[in-house]
Amino acid sequence: MHRYPGSRRVAGFTLIELLVVIAIIAVLVALLLPAVQSAREAGRRAQCQNNLRQLGLAAQQYHDAFSSFPSGWYCMQPVYDPANASTLLSGDINCATASTPYQPYMWGLLPGLFSKLEAGNLYNEINVNLPPNNIENSTAIRRTLDFLVCPSNRRPEAQAQTGTTAKIGPSDYRGNMAAGMVLPGANTNCPTQDPTNIYCCYYDNGLTYQNSTVTIADITDGTSNTVLMGESLTGNWSQATSCCVRTNTDRTINKPIVVGGQNYYTYWISKHPSQVNFVNCDGSIRLVNQTINKVVLNKIMTRNGGETISADETR
């Protein structure tokens, strides 16, 4: 090979050197990616906690205005003809007792807080004298509110209602309805401790249940020791069916409720790793690990159980 005067070999990387550099970059990215994802999740978790803090403060303002916390859901008590007990004169048969299941045509607790959350215009758009699934409310209930959506779970956009193509505004937060089970008795409707028996479960010892009017004075366990609301999934802000959660030891945080082989993501559940965020009745935030003792979880849900709970029990 002939070389011309003044010519020089051009320096460059060999293929092996390039592969080594690429491998090093890949390793660095693999090391940094979890840290970046963790930082993003920390930001999303902080936003979720701020949403709950706003709801807690709004509930406090609601209490100041109406002398009680908002109800879990609203319905009219049934009135029957005294001469014929089977004849309904007024009200709703699905409002008979606290254990009577709520229905999609009933309003849930969140709209009552809208005027305290700078969403008064949306509340004015709602006709609360008609069911939320009435056609006159179809436009209002599909509106989305950022402070009702946890960014770790989903984007704040309307979701399709089950079994229909109609859209409905989402919510990732539900109220604390009740917790625990009654003591069984041989001559009662609860002969054995059965969580599937409605007579064995409490439905009104929390904060937000059927037509509830719980006051701060009713929370004898202390407002800083009692949960008001917490995270859940697949809910909406308008219908009573997404209003509340009943806590029990047969259920597990961050796991669905299984009924007839089907999963229902309506318990205390989040997309945060290993934990769920709650807001107490005094507006303070409570982080609960999914491995919490289930008996302890029941204790922080009841408003007047008389239990003593240490800080390390809820971690």
pTM here is: 0.86
Token couple for 273: 């790793």
- Which pLDDT belongs to residue 36? 64
Distance between CA atoms of residues 63 and 213, nearest Å: 9
**Distances from the Cα of 176 to the Cαs of 84, 117, 281, in angstroms?**
37, 20, 10
What residues does each domain of the chain span?
30-313
> Which has more confidence, 237 or 20?
237
First to last CA, the chain: 77
Residue 170 CB burial class (10 angstroms; 0-12, 13-18, ≥19): buried
- % of the chain surpassing 90 pLDDT: 72
Predicted confidence (pLDDT) at residue 35 exceeds the cutoff of 80 = no
Give the model confidence (pLDDT) of 141-159 as tens digits.
999 999 999 999 987 777 7
Q: What's the one-letter identity of residue 221?
A: D
Task: Find the mean pLDDT for residues 239-248.
Answer: 96
Q: Which residues contact 52 (CB under 8 A, 6 or more apart)?
A: 173, 229, 230, 231, 277, 278, 279, 285
Cα 261 to chain centroid, rounded:
22
Residue 269 backbone class (left: φ over 0; alpha: ψ -120 to 50; beta: rest): beta
Residue 16 has a pLDDT of 81
Distance CA 293, CA 146 (A): 32
| Predicted confidence (pLDDT) at residue 97 exceeds the cutoff of 60 | yes
Most confident region among 33-37, 151-155, 287-291 by mean pLDDT: 287-291
Nearest to 247 by CA among 293, 180, 175: 180
Unique residue bearing structure tokens 């007839």: 260
- Are 123 and 70 in contact, with CB atoms under 8 Å apart? no
Bridge partners, 167 (sequence order) = 160
In angstroms, the CA 47 to CA 62 distance is 23
Q: Report residue 172 as tokens.
A: 């990732």
User: Each residue of 62-78: pLDDT tens digit?
Assistant: 999 999 999 999 999 99
Token look-up 């935030």 returns 285
Question: What are the pLDDT digits (tens) for 155-204?
Answer: 777 777 766 667 899 999 999 999 999 999 988 999 998 988 999 999 99
